């Protein structure tokens, strides 16, 4: 396999003056026109760009993403669950579908990799990820890139990671073939935060129930303070419509392992987590999206985080031994590029 694509990463730095990643990358489009949104209904990649460009600047707040001990521990925990025990740090790491950089930037802070490249189909996300990396003083470059045609040379990276991205990619096996192409022989990939098929079913159901209950209850006059403006609610509904276009897959863990092996990986292993934690997490996240942010203070954030942490402990120590792995909400997978 050969790759002759340009591989000149853009360094994060105050002198760059670039709107997104590498020079020549498209600029973010945070305000899509009605025509674009309509076109995106039948074009999943356009939908990815519009949806994620639209939410890039507010994404960290929406998902309570931070770059401190809390999220470093979370990212490191996901990595160690499937790839713990490896010699760290890896040299150069690549993130696919980086979003605002949540996974790779926190893994780098957690000592997993020395240098990194963040990539995403959405220029808005690459821009925010590079800004976050710069604020953290990390050695990171980035560019706009499609995970099905990764714009880097063969044998470039020691590690490739992704979080909550595989389920957005039309051809997952093609993307994993690309991952193996850009990995050095013996290099590893780790993808986490993917929805299982069973988990996605109950998460959607719980989300819908919480949304309906909350938006109906806040129509009551004495709860008017808790109601979001109609414009915000309409915007959320439009986003939900696009979400249906961008969420392409759910995974059975064994099937995902087979896809990775068919792509050419060895040492493949999928693990799942969050069952009780997801049963709490989805209603909590949906409720947060349905009411004005200023209504939920520090106490709520503490309840949500501690509740999730306690139930994750129950999942890990108890339920993991009695509940089938396909019932847990999150699946993660690792594999290695053969040494020829």
Ligand X SMILES: C[S@@+](CC[C@H](N)C(=O)[O-])C[C@H]1O[C@@H](n2cnc3c(N)ncnc32)[C@H](O)[C@@H]1O
Is residue 52 near ligand X by the rule CB under 6 A? yes
* Residue 212-241 contact track with ligand X, rule CB under 6 A, x = bound: ------------------------------
3-state secondary structure of 12: coil
Sign of the dihedral through C-alpha 87, 90, 94, 100: positive
Among the residue ranges 15-23, 164-172, 202-210, 259-267, the one whose residues contact ligand X (CB under 6 A): 164-172
Cα gap 72→244, rounded to integer Å: 30
Q: Which stretch binds ligand X (CB under 6 A): 68-76, 143-151, 232-240, 273-281?
A: 143-151
Three-state DSSP class for 223? helix
Which residue among 108, 118, 125, 128 contacts ligand X (CB under 6 A)?
125
State the residue number with the nearest CB to ligand X: 99
Smallest gap from residue 229 Cβ to ligand X (A):
25
Q: Are 90 and 159 in contact (CB under 8 A)?
A: yes
For ligand X, the binding residue among 10, 92, 143, 168 (CB under 6 A) is 168
Cβ closest to ligand X, residue 103 vs residue 328: 103
Q: Decide: is 194 part of the binding site for ligand X (CB under 6 A).
A: no
Q: Which of 83, 130, 165, 278 binds ligand X (CB under 6 A)?
A: 165
How far is 142 from 118, CA to CA, in rounded Å? 5
The Cα–Cα gap between 207 and 283 comes to 6
Q: Using CB atoms within 10 A of its CB, is residue 233 exposed (0-12), middle (13-18) or buried (19+)? A: middle
Candidate ranges 27-35, 96-104, 106-114, 332-340; the one touching ligand X (CB under 6 A): 96-104
Distance CA 162, CA 98 (A): 7
The answer to the question of residue 121 lying near ligand X (CB under 6 A) is: yes
Question: How far apart are alpha carbons 169 and 120 in whole angstroms?
Answer: 11
Q: Residue 96 Cβ, how far from ligand X at the closest point, in Å?
A: 6
Q: What are phi and psi of 252, to 5 degrees?
A: -90, 130
The site for ligand X (CB under 6 A) is made up of: 48, 52, 96-99, 102-103, 120-122, 125, 146-148, 163-165, 168-169, 193
């Amino acid at each position: 396999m050969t790759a002759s694509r340009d591989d000149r990463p853009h360094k994060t730095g105050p002198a760059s003056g670039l709107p997104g990643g590498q020079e020549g990358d498209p600029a973010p489009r945070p305000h899509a026109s009605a025509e674009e949104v309509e076109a995106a209904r039948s074009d999943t990649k356009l939908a990815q760009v519009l949806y994620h460009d639209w939410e890039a600047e507010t994404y960290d707040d929406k998902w309570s993403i931070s770059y401190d001990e809390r999220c470093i521990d979370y990212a490191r925990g996901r990595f160690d669950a499937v790839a713990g025990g490896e010699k760290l740090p890896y040299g150069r790491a690549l993130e696919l579908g980086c979003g605002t950089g949540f996974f790779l930037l926190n893994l780098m802070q957690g000592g997993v990799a020395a240098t990194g490249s963040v990539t995403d189909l959405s220029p808005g996300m690459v821009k925010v990820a590079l800004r976050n990396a710069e604020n953290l003083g990390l050695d990171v470059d980035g560019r706009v890139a499609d995970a099905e045609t990764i714009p880097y040379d063969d044998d470039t990276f020691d590690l490739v990671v992704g979080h909550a991205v595989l389920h957005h990619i039309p051809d997952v096996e093609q993307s994993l073939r690309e991952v193996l192409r850009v990995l050095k022989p013996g290099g590893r990939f780790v993808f986490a935060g993917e929805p299982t098929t069973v988990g996605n079913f109950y998460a959607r159901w719980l989300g819908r129930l919480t949304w309906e209950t909350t938006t109906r209850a806040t129509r009551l006059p004495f709860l008017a303070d808790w109601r979001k403006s109609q414009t915000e609610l309409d915007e959320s509904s439009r986003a939900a419509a696009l979400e249906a276009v961008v969420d392409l897959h759910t995974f059975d863990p064994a099937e995902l392992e087979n896809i990775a092996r068919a792509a050419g990986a060895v040492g493949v292993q999928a693990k799942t987590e969050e069952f009780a934690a997801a049963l709490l997490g989805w209603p909590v996240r949906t409720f947060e999206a349905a009411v004005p942010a200023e209504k939920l203070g520090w106490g709520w954030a503490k309840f949500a985080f501690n509740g999730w942490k306690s139930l994750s402990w129950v999942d890990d120590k108890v339920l993991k031994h009695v509940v089938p792995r396909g019932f847990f909400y999150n699946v993660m997978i690792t594999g290695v590029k053969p040494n020829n």
